[in-house]
Amino acid sequence: METIVVAEDDPSSRELVCEILEAQGYHVVAACNGREALDQIEKIAPDLLVMDIQMPLIGGLVAIERIRQDARFAKLRVLAVTAHAMAGDRERILSSGFDGYVSKPIDAVIFKKSVRDLLQARIPLRN
């Protein structure tokens, strides 16, 4: 069973994402901010990290920078799930080190496909 860490500060969004993933049979560990996400990936070495961009303490962009600087997490796939959906946001987020991008409000079909594709390595890691 694949393990996914979900880093989301909004309780209702976190619950929704966790429920979608658990219904697909994934083991899900929740984190309320980027700091908790970093702690969790060190503890459990998940198969995927699903992370919001705007969170307290450590936001998604700072967290992804730290993740990408750590050789232990070189192969960790990270999916951004964010309300940042203006022109250029997708490209900016992907170029910061995320492997995938899903905008809020979440379309469950698109979200599940993005998760599945990242876990099955259909999407190449960034260079």
Domain presence at residue 124: no
Domain presence at residue 112: yes
CA-to-CA dists, residue 2 to 90, 93, 115, 117, 118, angstroms: 26, 25, 11, 13, 12
Q: Domain residues for 56?
A: 3-119
Mapping DSSP to helix (H, G, I), strand (E, B) and coil, where does residue 107 land? coil
Domain presence at residue 19: yes
Domain presence at residue 34: yes
pLDDT band at 127 (very low <50, low <70, confident <90, very high): very low
Domain presence at residue 126: no
Domain presence at residue 127: no
pLDDT digits (tens, 9 = 90+) for 87-121: 788 999 999 999 999 999 999 999 999 999 999 97
Question: Total structural domains in the chain?
Answer: 1
Q: Tokens for 117?
A: 């594709």
pLDDT digits (tens, 9 = 90+) for 63-89: 999 999 999 998 899 999 998 777 788
Domain presence at residue 125: no
CATH number of the domain enclosing 52: 3.40.50.2300
